[in-house]
Amino acid sequence: MTAIPVRQNRIALNAIQWINIKADPTNPDSEDLWRYADPTFRADYPGVLAEIRRSGFSAVMMEVLATQTLQDFGRMIADSGLELAPGYVGVPIPRDHGVTLAKGTGERIRWFDLVRRRAEESNTVGLETVFIAPEVSWEPGFVRTLDAVGVGAGFDQGRLDEQIEFVGEAASILQAEGVRAGLHNHVGTWIETEDEIEQTLAAIPADLLGASFDIGHLAWAGIDPVEMIMRHSDRVVDLHIKDLDMAIADASRETPTSYRKATDSGIFLEPGLGTLDIVGSLAALPADFDGWVIVEVDRASMDPSASADVSWKWVAENVPA
């Protein structure tokens, strides 16, 4: 077995299999649901956590619902018997929302309220890192999700510079609270391509911003995950892993395709069901890596519980105990 500097107890699952679903799972054209935003999901959350634990995972990615307190979340996690792995925060930029925010103004300070909430959540549950990414938007005119995914559509250096500035400011807020941010690349955002990732990492000091890559979103954008992890091994903090149908990924770059169309076509797969070199990606981590690896199947290719089972089976067969 290729040497992997990660153990099974540092592999968590993102509950997204139960969250990012179709209104009618048998109809790919039915409405997309995002159940974290559904107030009724709180009642279902403990059952989802129980399914994750039953599948074999001992940890789940932190996601405190907007409809629950930190205390309620803490009690729920304690009851589940699961550990918590680092959460995620998206950082929007003002120009995408039609505003300009001068430094030092109350409006700019409040722009980062969610970042401060993630810092508080992380500290409360004892987590020291967080995945930080640009905003994923579905608003009209957001070309990278609506029109052409994975190819750097609508590139604008000024907009990228603004995104880098706001990611850096968010990372500074997190650092002040003792939480280390890792850049999380995500297809459909303004930090999508290899050049955009490299510009961001070059512009923000490594002691302020690490790298918390998603190997699936790297590959979808035509980037070699193994090479990228090796290139930035000195600043890798955490990692998301998934598998992909690379035929769909490649076709989505060749012909302008929306994010949702690619998702509905089945681009996302459980580990081992696609062709990504996940083992090679994990082996590319530095020998002293002590971060978290989170399995994230953005849209399950099967029933969510079965997806968790298949994901853990891959972990059990490929990651040292």
pLDDT of residue 197: 98
CB atoms within 10 A of CB 83: 18
The arrangement of strands across the sheet holding 239-241 comes to 83-85, 59-61, 11-13, 293-295, 239-241
Percent of the chain with pLDDT over 70: 100
Q: What is the dihedral of CA 77, 78, 82, 87, to 10 degrees?
A: 40
DSSP conformation letters of 174-241:
HHHTT-EEEE---TTSSS-SHHHHHHHHHHS-TTTEEE--BHHHHHHTT--HHHHHHHTGGGB--EEE
Q: Which residues of 121-138 are buried (b: 16+ CB within 10 A; e: fewer)?
A: bbeebebebbbbbbbebe
Length of the chain equals 321
- Does the pLDDT of residue 91 top 70, yes or no? yes
pLDDT of residue 29: 83
Handedness of CA 316, 318, 319, 321 (dihedral sign): positive
Q: Which amino acid is at 249?
A: A
pLDDT of residue 251: 98
The CATH number given to 8-318 is: 3.20.20.150
Contact 59, 12 (CB under 8 A): yes
Per-residue pLDDT tens digits for 161-190: 999 999 999 999 999 999 999 999 999 999
Contact 223, 211 (CB under 8 A): no
- Does the pLDDT of residue 2 top 80, yes or no? no
Q: What is the mean pLDDT of residues 288-309?
A: 97
pLDDT of residue 1: 53
CA 288 to the chain's CA centroid:
23
Average pLDDT, the chain: 97
At residue 61, the 3 state secondary structure works out as: strand
Contact 200, 191 (CB under 8 A): yes
